């Protein structure tokens, strides 16, 4: 991959990562409920899903999904249902007592693996991402050159940019609001807001074609 192509890839990744979506909402929610430092675990799960998406497209499975209305809709409805489940669970969550350190999580910590799993499924169950990568990847992969180095460069670039944007922008943006989690009322308000956002994204996933 030439330097000019890589810079184009880098620019595209930055623009894409700053586009709000379920991943950004999940990251901000984690930052508020678990603390900025621990929100990285949810971001790790989201990156694992991105790797799966790229592998699916590279293997040709993505083309099958994009051309099969049944498969596409199955993934789409599953993704929407999962986001609705997360939204309702967040809205119904009981407030937990938090300490005075903005970077420390509430007393009832969510495990690393739970955050990784949630981040993984939030990103994976999005058929739009598969279709997007189908249109995105061919612009940066030369078929007349070795494929593996190009795909590794693409995956690493996408992941590094997304981690930086998610952690240092979206997760950091939520930090000033963490003081609201000190009271049960504040926690309920934030949980309701982010729960509604999850449900709203689920609605967009179903309505937008």
Length of the chain: 209
Identify the pLDDT of residue 202. Answer: 83
* 158 vs 161: CA distance, rounded Å: 5
Helix (H, G, I), strand (E, B) or coil at 101: coil
Give 107's pLDDT tier (boundaries 50, 70, 90). Answer: very low
Tens of pLDDT, residues 137-167? 877 888 778 888 888 998 999 999 999 999 9
DSSP character at residue 183: S
Tokens representing residue 142 in the block: 């030369």
Please state the pTM of the whole predicted model: 0.79
Helix (H, G, I), strand (E, B) or coil at 68: coil
13 closest CA partner among 136, 127, 104: 136
Query: Which of 67-76, 120-129, 152-161 reaches the highest mean pLDDT?
Result: 152-161
- Burial pattern 135-172, b for ≥16 Cβ within 10 A else e, equals ebbeebbeeeeeeeebbebbbebbbebbbebbbeebbe
Helix residue ranges, H only, 18-68: 22-34, 40-58, 61-67
* 111 vs 118: CA distance, rounded Å: 11
Q: Residue 95 phi/psi, 5° resolution?
A: -60, 145
Identify the pLDDT of residue 129. Answer: 76
Helix (H, G, I), strand (E, B) or coil at 6: helix
Residue 103 has pLDDT above 70, yes or no: no
């Amino acid at each position: 991959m030439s330097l000019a192509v890589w810079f184009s890839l880098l620019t595209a990744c930055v623009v894409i990562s700053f586009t709000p979506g379920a991943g950004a909402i999940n990251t901000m929610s984690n930052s508020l409920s678990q603390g900025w430092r621990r929100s990285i675990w949810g971001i790790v799960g989201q990156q694992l899903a991105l790797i799966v998406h790229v592998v699916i497209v590279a293997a040709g499975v993505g083309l099958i999904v994009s051309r099969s209305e049944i498969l596409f809709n199955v993934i789409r409805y599953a993704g929407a249902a999962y986001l609705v489940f997360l939204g309702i669970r967040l809205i119904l969550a009981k407030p937990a007592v938090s300490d005075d350190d903005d970077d420390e999580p509430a007393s009832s910590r969510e495990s690393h693996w739970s955050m990784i799993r949630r981040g993984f499924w939030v990103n994976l169950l999005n058929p739009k991402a598969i279709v997007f990568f189908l249109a995105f990847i061919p612009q940066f992969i030369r078929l007349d050159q070795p494929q593996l180095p190009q795909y590794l460069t693409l995956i690493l670039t996408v992941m590094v940019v997304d981690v930086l944007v998610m952690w240092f922008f979206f997760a950091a943006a939520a930090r000033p609001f963490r003081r609201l989690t000190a009271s049960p009322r504040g926690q309920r308000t934030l949980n309701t807001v982010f729960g509604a956002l999850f449900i709203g994204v689920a609605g967009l996933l179903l309505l937008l074609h």
